[in-house]
Structure formats: C-alpha cells, structure tokens
Structure 1
Amino acid sequence: MATQLRSAENEYGIKSEYGHYIGGEWIAGDSGKTIDLLNPSTGKVLTKIQAGNAKDIERAIAAAKAAFPKWSQSLPGERQEILIEVARRLKARHSHYATLETLNNGKPMRESMYFDMPQTIGQFELFAGAAYGLHGQTLDYPDAIGIVHREPLGVCAQIIPWNVPMLMMACKIAPALASGNTVVLKPAETVCLSVIEFFVEMADLLPPGVINVVTGYGADVGEALVTSPDVAKVAFTGSIATARRIIQYASANIIPQTLELGGKSAHIVCGDADIDAAVESATMSTVLNKGEVCLAGSRLFLHQSIQDEFLAKFKTALEGIRQGDPLDMATQLGAQASKMQFDKVQSYLRLATEEGAEVLTGGSRSDAADLADGNFIKPTVFTNVNNSMRIAQEEIFGPVTSVITWSDEDDMMKQANNTTYGLAGGVWTKDIARAHRIARKLETGTVWINRYYNLKANMPLGGYKQSGFGREFSHEVLNHYTQTKSVVVNLQEGRTGMFDQ
C-alpha cells in the first residue's frame, strides 16, 4: 500500500526563489511579492516564484518584440539545431526533470519518467524537423507566377496549465520557435517548478528575448499579456471560464487564438470488446495523472451484456492501485496537484451521492495515515449514473469515472454526444464496421479504437465544441503560428489596354 513519504526537495538543486526570465536575464518582479510552490504530497513549500504584474508583462513583451526581427530571419538550420539540443539536454537529465514534475505536481514518478518526459522530448524532436518544412507555394498562370510565402506571426502569448506543465510548455514553444516566432510564456502559478528549471538550463541556447517567462496569478498578468498591441497570437490550455476571458481580451486587437480546453470524453465498451484490455484502459483513464487530464474517458459507457463482468474486474483493478509517495516508482496514484483541486474533487464526490449515483469503489480521500498531509483521493467509480447528472456533464479533473449502461447504439451515441465538450473518446469492439461507425459519429477531436490514450507522434489533437479550436501536437499547428503572403509576378509585358487613353 502507501509507502512512507520522504522529503527530497533539497536533493535536486532547487533554488529558494526564482525570478522572471526576461530578455535573457533572471529578474525580480515589479511587485516584490512572491508565490509559494508546494509539494502537494506533503504540503511543504518547495520554492518561491515571482507574483508578476502588468509591468513585468510589458517588459517581457518588449524583449520579445525586440528579438523578433532577427529571430524571424534566422536560418532553419539554426532553429533546428537549437531544438535538437534542447531534446538532447532533456534526455541527459530525464530523471531530474521527471522528479521536479513529480515534486510539484504530485503525479507518480513512473508517469513523469515514462509518459511526461518522453512526450516532452518528442515535441522538440518533432518540430526540429519542421524548421525546414515551412513550405510556401507557387502557382503558374500563362501571364504570371503566384508565390505564397509563409511567415511567422511575431510575439506569441502562451498560457499553460498545471497538470502536465513540461509537456504543455513543449507543445507550445517548440512549434513557435521552429516557425520563427518569439514568445512570452505564462506558466501556472501552482505548478511550474520543472518549467522554470528547464529555462535555467536552456537559457544559453536561446538569443535574449526569444523566450520570456513571467510567473504570477492569471488575474494580475493575463489581461496585460493578451491585450497588448504588440502580441500577435495567443495559445492557451486550461478551463472554459478562463478561455472566455482570453477570447474577450484577444478581441481588443483581433488576434488569433488556439484554445485547448476541457473534456468529458465518452469511453464506449461494446458487448464484443476484449474486456480485460478495456478494463486496463478504463483503469488507466481513471488514475493517470490522478485524473487531471482533459482527455480522460470519464464517462464510461458499458454495454449491459458485459456490465457485471466488467465492473467486477474494474473494481478489483482500482482497489489494487498502489497509492502513496509519488517519488516511489511503485506508486500508481499520487496526490491532486493543489488543495484547491483536492477540495473541488471532494465536492463532486459529495454531489454524486446527492444526485443518486452509487459508489462502486472509492468515493473519499485516502484514509492511509501516512498520506494525511497530502491531497490524496481514492480512485472512484460511480454507477447508476444518468447522463444528465452534473457528474456526467461537468469536468471533475480527478480520479473519478462515471458508468452509464447502454443497449441501443443510436441512443448511446446521442448520450455520448450530449455534452458541451468534444475533446476525445474511445471505443472497444472487434467489429471493424462498428468501430468506424461509432468513431465517425462521435463529435470529438480524437477517437481511440481498442486502446485509450494511444497517443502517436504528429497526430493532431484538439477539440470540437467548447473543448476549443485549433490543433496541436502535429505539424498542423504550424498553420496557427504562421501567416501567408501572396505575391503575384506579372509576366505579360506592356499595358493591359483597359485604361488606355
């Protein structure tokens, strides 16, 4: 079961305080105020970061603007070499960054090591090649040649969340850098230790001002960042509520946005599914990153013919999950990333029973004595769930799965699509026609057939409906970081004759 928590904060060279990274320098914030970064497993303070304000943002944007002309004209090989070197350095200190991610986020070390870091490294490798792939276009006419140039946008504002900070940082800055943009990055104020340390190590690679990092509360820096007339684009991953404000801010200067928001994905298991494999996927979807994953298949649609067998195996699997010290490689479920998120998940656990759902397993915080100081919640499954319940419609962002039983495919599809979200989904069946039929009907940006979370390099990821717009994690995102310019070269000599006098 749970292992004794240990303190490792001082073993990894963590500084007592970090500044903003602006114009190639680490500087104190204008306000003089700081924010504590905590270890959610113990409640202890790891370090302090700056509580940024509008003046810090203005300085960062100015640095990014000044760096843009030269960086936008840099050779593809120069940008490629930097991205490859970033990936090389990440590989060299793989376990170090994984540990920082675990210390500040509370996710199990095995996930940081074998999911977060490989995916992070993969983003830099993927977009290193993209520096040479920003193709324009030529069109031939009898009397002209049309040339379409593809050019970087300028200063990009990037706002990333706390659930997978290293991966979110990588999927934002790698394509922005590859396409010749400069960046002002605002990480989450609760979880960003790994990201800040990343820039400590990578600072010598980047020309001053190409990447700038400002920490702080969203309310203090968000509006100044997105409304600046010198910002050409905003990329955001986070909640719908915050996205609405960002869209309003971005309207001040009519700048484009890419938004990757929440999810309430349908994980559909048909009567002919490989039950054992599907149970494993449902277990992973419930506990991976403590359920703090926007892609999570948190609505589990079980065909009634296999419901009893599936739930029995699902219950056994979740009750065998090892919850404990996230730094222990044996741990499979860690602590919610913050007290705020811990309290939110607990409020939904109470709400579920009030709505009439039944607890199959879990349903409360961990009762292990050595986990009492941390934000630990048992993996939880609710049955007797109606799709109209709030626990089936609202994103809980915790280790919680709601089970909905079905028998009629058409009715099930209506329920699966009856949500404001549309980020991901999964289907389990041995019938290839049914698999494709369901996948096409699902109103969602990603569908995994016969293996949930089957993430593959260069596959576009993004949402339908209120899960956002734009695509990331593939070369398709380069369209969001560049704009086109049409140049027409006339080949016909002399006057047209239309206005000859």
Structure 2
Amino acid sequence: MSIPTQNHIINGEFVSPSSGQYLDLIDPVMGQVIGKAAAGNSADVDRAVAAASEAFKSWKNTATSERANIIARMALVLGANMEELLGLEAKCTGLSVTRLQGFDIPAVMQFVQIFSENLESYPFVEYPPVRAVPEAHDVKIVKQPLGVCGLITAWNGPLFLAFLKMLPAIAAGNTVIIKPAETASLAVVRAMELIQDLLPPGVVNVVTGLGPDVGAALSSHPGIAKISFTGSGRTGAMIQKEAADTMKRVTLELGGKGPGVVLPDAPIELTARGATYGFLLGSGQICISGTRLFVHESIHDELVARMAELAGKMKAGSQFDPATTLGPMAYRAHYERVLGYIESGKAEGAQVACGGGPLSVEEFPDSMFVQPTIFTDVTPDMKIYNEEIFGPVLSVIKYSDVEDAIDMANDSCYGLSAGVWTGDPIAAQSVSHRLEAGTVWVNDWHAISGDMSFGGIKQSGYGREINIASMEGYLETKNYVTSFETDPNAKAMYGLVHRSV
C-alpha cells in the first residue's frame, strides 16, 4: 500500500525540502509507517517567510467582509473532505475517530463559524470621546495586523490546534507559517492544501520538520512578528528566549497539573465518572487533564474504589473501532517516559489502586498502550505529584480540611486548569475563586466553548486563545491624534516651551 509523502506548502505550492530528507510518520497503534513529511530547515523557513511577507502587503488591506467570507467557505471545504481528514488525523495520532468526531472536528467547525460571523463587527477602529482638556483632539485608535506569524502546534490535537491558531491570525490580517508536530502532520498539511484555493498565495504556509530545525528557525527569524506555541514548558521557555532578540510577540499554551478538589458533599457517581473522564480523555495526553485529585477523607475510599472500577473498563484498541475508549501513547519515547513516571510512583511509596504498567493488546503487538493508573497515598514530595506526566495517570491525595486542599492545589508551578466536585455548585464558587488556574470547572472537566477565552497562568503560559478576543494577540494598536486648534498662540500646552514669541 502506498503511503502519502507530503512536501511543504509555500506560496500556494508544494515545495520539496531543501535537505531532500523526509520524516517517517508512525501509526502509534499499528507501529507502522503511514506517511512521510518533509524534513524542513532554516532555508525552507526563509523561503516561507519571504512568501508570507510578500502576501502580507496585500492581505493586510483586504476588507474584513472578504476575510470573513473566505473563512466561512472553509467550512464547506472541510465538510466535503471530512472523512479523509478524520482518517489522516486518526492514523498519525492514534486519536479515536469517536473523539475526533465528537470533539476535535466540531470544535474546528465552531471556530470557523465564530470568526466568520463576528469578524465584521470586531472593533478594528475606535473613536473615543473628545476631551476638552487640555485641548480638543480627535483620537482614532486602530488595531493593525502584526505581519508574519509562526504557529507551532502540538501532537495531541494537530488539526484542532492548527485552526485554533490560524483563524484568528488570518482574520486579523496576518499571514502565517504553520509548523505542525513532527510526529503528526498528515491531516494539517492536507487541510491547508484544501483551503489554498480560497486564499491568495502565501497567506497560509506550512513547513514541516523537527523542532530544533524548523521551530527554532521560526522563533529566531527577524521576519516573523509573532510566535504562538502549544507544547511543553521546556520548549516554551526556549521559544521565549529565542524570540526575545527580535522582540517578537509570543503566546504560550504549555503544560498543566490540573487539581480537582472533591468536597465532602460531592455526589460519588458524578464525581467518579467526571474525574475519570478528566484524567483519561485522550489517554491523559491533554494539557488540561485533571491529574491531581484532592479527596475528602470521608468519601476517599468509596470514590477511589468506584474510579478504579470505571478505569478498569476502558477498552484499548484500534482508533477506527467505535468501541475503543483508550488510545495509545503518541510515540515510543513518550510511552517509555510515562511508564518511567509510574515506576517512580511505586518506588517513592505511592499505592497502586489500579493499573500500574504497560497494556498489551493482542491484535496490536507493536502498540504503545498504558494501563489507566490511579495512585493513592501520594505526597507532595513525589515526582508524580509535581510533574506533568501526560498519560493516563492520576494522583489521589486524601485531605481533612478544605483549606489545606486549596493550598495544596495551588502549590504548583502550573495554572492551566482546576476543578471542584460538590453537591452545592453555588457554594463551590468561593472555592473556584481561590483556585489558581486559567479555567476552573465545577462538576465537570474538559468543557470548552468557542465563546470563552482559553489559556493559563504561572508556568502554564500566557495569552488567550479560542474566542474572537484571541485576535488581540495578533494585532498592534496604533493611535491617530488630530488637533482641532490651528492657532499656535491658542495651543494650551505650547506655553510650556514657548514663553513668548
């Protein structure tokens, strides 16, 4: 069976990598090569920046109505090719088609709808009221696009993240260069190929390759005005440093260690199902996963027992099987890293309530599944308590005083997500207010709407994405000030310099 070999997309055309090299893309369930992606380098980035810079000259002046119309038409193109895109995304990520159909693809369609419907009413130009003191001026505030933006996406939702970043960037009038994750670029490249006919050449470009080769070149390139990155904190810090030399704008959506606080009155079944969903959706390979659960001592044992029962019912298998509820780790090094964390938890004294190792699936001997694992008796000095594992692993911490639970929840370098489980969602608002996170859920997890802004605090990053307000991160504010007074002798402030003339 032939496998797709994808080149860069630069200036509306497929472009071979200057290195002549390609990267293997591996199906994490089958363990087989299912595609090849161009191995880009700084020369390819230079070419893409040149194309995007030329396209920006005209794209920035395109009417908002035209940009909105182009974005709206993307939904038709994506819809007509949805089956192909689903297949490509599932193959190279291991994400189940059930999840892709239930979350990722509907979210992309919602993003398209939000930007196409709200773009024309966005306040690109504002006129504040005229103030008489010290003298009357006409002030016009204009929000202008930045220029060429580099968009670097993660491997745990490549198509979702590409549109999450690309839509506000081009809606604001910028041009973009997308660098998909090197392990999972099939659907992103194909989707950007499909929309090329809607856009002027050079508005949306794609350069694939390794982070040190392409990501670093984007972050340090003087022709790029902004970087938006989703991924690890370590890489985010490197990008921030590389971008500093040219004063690039940067948006970072990084890691998390989502704490959930289970109050004594929490409904057991709702909490058990919700908290299990919170740490097992996407096999835990989601930055907003709820991976620390602080449970009141009065319901600790009952809740853990029910969660272990639910986790044990997860079914590992093909991403194309509707019955599959547990996917594999995305690639070999990550699989081994997750198993290493599980072993460290055991070695440091945590108790295994369920799982605790690799999961073999007879039909897929080369797959990289990990058993859903719940640890109890976890203490703050353990690695599994503090570090982001990015796998199906939950740390449960028993508490007796809710004040202690809140303090422990906040005692983290991360601040992306948090949650409260309770029988009184109104009273939970006070706890939610005190949890240090960009998003706090009450009696739910992973609930995201296209109308809310999304991002983190502390070392989970900065900047906001998803909703129409995310365009702010892709715009520069410029003020035009016009004086109504043309007689220099009547200018109120000139006397500070000109005492007599």
Pair in the same fold by TM > 0.5 = yes
Supply the AA of the counterpart residue of 1:188: A
Match of 2:465 in 1: 472
Pick from 81, 90, 100 the counterpart of residue 78 of structure 2.
90
Pick from 343, 352, 355 the counterpart of residue 359 of structure 1.
352
Match of 1:62 in 2: 50
Match of 2:427 in 1: 434
Paired with 1:253 and 1:467, the residues of 2 have a C-alpha distance of 23
* In the alignment, structure 1 residue 386 sits paired with structure 2 residue 375: no
Paired with 2:244 and 2:332, the residues of 1 have a C-alpha distance of 33
Pick from 408, 418, 424 the counterpart of residue 425 of structure 1.
418
Supply the AA of the counterpart residue of 1:353: K
Paired with 1:368 and 1:294, the residues of 2 have a C-alpha distance of 26
* In the alignment, structure 1 residue 167 sits paired with structure 2 residue 169: no
Supply the AA of the counterpart residue of 2:284: G
The unaligned stretches of length 5 or more in structure 1 are 1-9
- Distance apart, 1:469 and its partner CA: 0.4
* In the alignment, structure 1 residue 23 sits paired with structure 2 residue 23: no
* In the alignment, structure 1 residue 257 sits paired with structure 2 residue 250: yes
Moved more, 186-195 or 93-102: 93-102
Tell me if structure 2 keeps the 8 A contact 1:134–1:179.
no
Match of 1:269 in 2: 262
Pick from 93, 109, 130 the counterpart of residue 121 of structure 1.
109
Tell me if structure 2 keeps the 8 A contact 1:358–1:384.
yes
* In the alignment, structure 1 residue 141 sits paired with structure 2 residue 116: no
- Distance apart, 1:432 and its partner CA: 4.1
Q: 1:200-226: CA deviations, max 9, x gaps?
A: 211211110001100011111222212
Matches within 5 A, 1:72-471: 72-135=60-123, 136-139=125-128, 140-142=130-132, 143-432=136-425, 434-471=427-464
Paired with 1:92 and 1:387, the residues of 2 have a C-alpha distance of 50
Tell me if structure 2 keeps the 8 A contact 1:37–1:104.
yes
Paired with 2:390 and 2:341, the residues of 1 have a C-alpha distance of 10
- Distance apart, 1:187 and its partner CA: 0.7
Moved more, 131-140 or 471-480: 131-140
- Distance apart, 1:96 and its partner CA: 2.8
Moved more, 61-70 or 194-203: 194-203
Tell me if structure 2 keeps the 8 A contact 1:97–1:117.
no
- Distance apart, 1:134 and its partner CA: 3.2
- Distance apart, 1:368 and its partner CA: 2.9
SS of 1:308 mapped into structure 2: helix
Paired with 1:309 and 1:420, the residues of 2 have a C-alpha distance of 30
Supply the AA of the counterpart residue of 1:328: D
Q: 1:339-380: CA deviations, max 9, x gaps?
A: 111111111111110111111111111133223210111111
Tell me if structure 1 keeps the 8 A contact 2:263–2:402.
no
Paired with 2:171 and 2:255, the residues of 1 have a C-alpha distance of 27
Moved more, 214-223 or 488-497: 488-497
- Distance apart, 1:121 and its partner CA: 1.5
Tell me if structure 2 keeps the 8 A contact 1:266–1:299.
yes
Q: 1:446-494: CA deviations, max 9, x gaps?
A: 0011111121221111111000000111122111110111111211231
- Distance apart, 1:284 and its partner CA: 1.2
Tell me if structure 1 keeps the 8 A contact 2:179–2:207.
yes
Supply the AA of the counterpart residue of 1:55: A
Moved more, 333-342 or 86-95: 86-95
SS of 1:231 mapped into structure 2: coil
Match of 1:5 in 2: none
Pick from 34, 40, 49 the counterpart of residue 28 of structure 2.
40
Supply the AA of the counterpart residue of 2:385: A
Tell me if structure 1 keeps the 8 A contact 2:37–2:185.
no
- Distance apart, 1:141 and its partner CA: 2.2
SS of 2:338 mapped into structure 1: helix
Paired with 1:449 and 1:346, the residues of 2 have a C-alpha distance of 31
Paired with 1:401 and 1:90, the residues of 2 have a C-alpha distance of 36
Paired with 1:262 and 1:442, the residues of 2 have a C-alpha distance of 17
Q: How much identity, in percent, do the aligned residues show?
A: 38
Tell me if structure 2 keeps the 8 A contact 1:427–1:449.
yes
Paired with 1:103 and 1:178, the residues of 2 have a C-alpha distance of 30
TM-score, normalising length: structure 2? 0.95
SS of 1:487 mapped into structure 2: strand
Q: CA RMSD in A?
A: 1.4
- Distance apart, 1:92 and its partner CA: 3.0
- Distance apart, 1:262 and its partner CA: 0.1
**Matched residue pairs, number?**
489
Tell me if structure 2 keeps the 8 A contact 1:51–1:215.
yes
Tell me if structure 1 keeps the 8 A contact 2:425–2:442.
no
Match of 1:493 in 2: 486
Paired with 1:428 and 1:421, the residues of 2 have a C-alpha distance of 20
Paired with 1:87 and 1:438, the residues of 2 have a C-alpha distance of 40
Tell me if structure 2 keeps the 8 A contact 1:134–1:150.
no
Tell me if structure 2 keeps the 8 A contact 1:95–1:113.
no
Tell me if structure 1 keeps the 8 A contact 2:158–2:184.
yes
SS of 1:141 mapped into structure 2: coil
Paired with 1:15 and 1:62, the residues of 2 have a C-alpha distance of 31
Paired with 2:191 and 2:216, the residues of 1 have a C-alpha distance of 26
